[in-house]
Amino acid sequence: MSNISQPLQALRRWSQQTLRHSVWPWAIAGAVAIWLAQPPCRLWPFAWIGLVPWIGFVFRESLKRRDYAKLYLVTTLLWAVTMQGIRHAHPAMYVAWWALAAYLAAYPVVWIGLARVARAHSRIPIWLMLPILWVGLEWVRNHFLTGISAVMLGHTQADVAPMIQIADLFGSYGVSFVVVLANAALAVAWWQPINAETSVSAKSSSDGDPSGIKVPSPSSPAIALTVAATVVLATYGYGSWRLNQADTLLAMSQPLSKNRTAAGSDSVPNNPAGVIALIGRDEPIVFEQDPKREQEIFTAYFRETIAAAERAAQQSRPLTAVVWPESMFTGGLPFLPETSDRSGNNADRPPDNGSNRPDETKPSRSEIEEVLAENRQHFRARAAEVQRQIRQVTGQPTGPDLIVGCAAVRYADVPEVHCACLHITDDGQVADFYAKKHLVMFGEYIPAIDWLPWVRSLVPPGMGVTPGDGPRAMRVADQIVSPNICIETAVERVTINQVRDLIASGNPPDQIINVTNDGWFNGTSIVEHHLRAAQLVAVGSRRPLLIAANGGPTAWIDGSGRIIERLRNDEAGSILVDFHPDNRPAAYLTLGEWPAGLAALALLATAIQGHRHRQKPQNTKGNRSPGGATPT
């Protein structure tokens, strides 16, 4: 300590005193730092120090239940501010908003509690256990109650391209691990020497501390800092190497062109190949949306599409495909599939509902079938007319394909409503469609609602979606596209598993397309969190990821997670995307979440260990080891 300046010694001494006597300053300091590191502030350096205040509680001699309660209150407020955008969807979502905040707030509190157990009883250094436990909890969060991957700690580094490239090895978990490791090393260097000096003379008691521990002997801050610095530098070096690979591949193909519509001039690229047009607008959305409003939205997107076609024509470039956001193509006329349902039954068989009974007020089965066939014909004619008018503008003889978000209704004895992404070929025929598999909790389904009739009465009309049955490989020209919908890119494992399944089936996708309607969130930071999750998915799969969004980030993301072009969330326009294949392998597609799963096992082992030590009688204080662990 002699080589440390007097002001720094005084600051460390003050830190010790406040940490010992009050939870509030350090709990709030950590929460503020983490909030600053993420959207809307996007001050990513704060993520590298934001956990240091919270880690101080791991080094505190005693942490009582009321202290954990204070921590939980602070983290609940942090998550409430972070996720407040969901309240805009519907008044009933205010309850879901606070329920989600209360649920997510438990994770950092559990992390601190288990880290205290690990520090007392584990042979692994605490600076290594902290990132292991954090990643284990992120794994649990990404699976429990269908999972949510948004706002992972690693996402704070989305603006620092070299630091997120390890996502092709370990996913977002890997980036989170590195960030927590750096925080842990700094915390050991800051907090542990203080406690090591004071714990010799301080009388420690575990009364009221749920972890039942005393402060153990310290470990070397020098080792922690050396390892953390090495890992951070290695991560940056690996990321720089991977980015150089991407730039080399790009230089060997046609140059990327920025083709944004909203304002400014458009430069004509050297590559005359076809482009994919991503259409984005910011149309207000409500749950109780009538067919007239749906038609207005359809018309607005059609006009935006024609504007994109005019710009493509000015560049003498045909449109290969046009992408509309989630649900925007419905226009009061949902798609009615004619294929078999998942059970092999005839999906377009109209429901019986007693229609065979001699009741003249009910339509017969044949009359219902006639209406369904007429609606299908109208749907095909409308799609073909959209394509015809695009061709009139571009002058191309065929195309473009349409990849559009649209409601799909399967009429059967038990009708099913899907949130779908359709692939419509240039003759207006639906070649295939993807039905959203991972539904939004509280937005598209409510757990156990069949057993909670009083909850059903609070659910707004139109809510309730049937999940799909798996990924689809849509062939557009010479490309294979893997579509997904809405938050499926915000649950990382969903998209990664879909890409892996398509590769295994012999249909490796060249690009991922996400159609989403983020208009529910009213331009709040949730939209940016969605975008960041998509950036990490692009790295993890090493595929370009294209987003067509309503009220959200219509964006072109390359296989390195870099945003090549995007529209503002409130901007109406389009992006013309050149296809540049990314042939780099991604170990994450092979390994999957196994490393993070192992961290979850370490989490479980720590929890069991803590439970065992709490259950042991503590009748003689002399039987406790100097490190705070009861001898076994």
> At 253, is the secondary structure helix, strand, or coil?
coil
Specify the 3-state DSSP secondary structure of 176: helix
| Cα–Cα distance list, 195 to 63, 190, 200, 340, 610 (Å) | 14, 10, 9, 67, 22
Asked if 209 contacts 64 with a C-beta cutoff of 8 angstroms, the reply is: yes
CA-nearest of 559, 502, 430 to 164 is: 559
Query: CA-CA distance, 586 to 503, in Å (whole number)?
Result: 12
Give yes or no: 437 in active site: no
Indicate the SS3 state at residue 262. Answer: coil
70, 214, 436, 437: the catalytic one is 436
Residue 234 is given by DSSP the state H
Q: What residues are paired with 557 via a beta bridge?
A: 545, 563
Would residue 258 show up in a list of annotated catalytic residues for this protein? no
| Secondary structure of residue 553 in the 3-state scheme | coil
The one catalytic residue in 61, 294, 304, 326 is 326
Q: What are phi and psi of 556, to 5 degrees?
A: -115, 115
Answer whether 570's CB lies under 8 Å from 524's CB: no
Nearest-angstrom CA–CA distance, 437 and 442: 15
Number of C-beta neighbours around residue 254 at 10 A = 15
**Which residue reads 């240039």 in tokens?**
426
Whole-angstrom distance, CA of residue 176 vs CA of residue 133: 11
Helix (H) or strand (E) holding 353: none
CA-CA distances (angstroms) from residue 378 to 154, 184, 210, 335, 371? Answer: 47, 61, 65, 10, 11
Full DSSP string of 9-70: HHHHHHHHHHHHH-SHHHHHHHHHHHHHHSTTT--GGGGGTTTHHHHHHHHSS---HHHHHH
Residues in the chain: 632
Distance CA 280, CA 192 (A): 52
Q: CB neighbours (10 Å) of residue 10?
A: 10
> What's 344's DSSP letter?
S
Q: How many Cβ atoms from other residues are within 10 Å of residue 600's Cβ? A: 21
* Catalytic choice (406, 419, 421, 486): 486
Q: Amino acid identity of 129?
A: M
Q: Is 436 designated active site?
A: yes
The tokens of 109 are what?
A: 């509190």
What's CA 371's distance to the chain center, in Å? Answer: 40
Phi and psi at residue 550, to the nearest 5°: -100, 120
**DSSP label at residue 328:** T
The token duo for 172 is 């977002």
Which active-site residues does the annotation give? 326, 436, 486
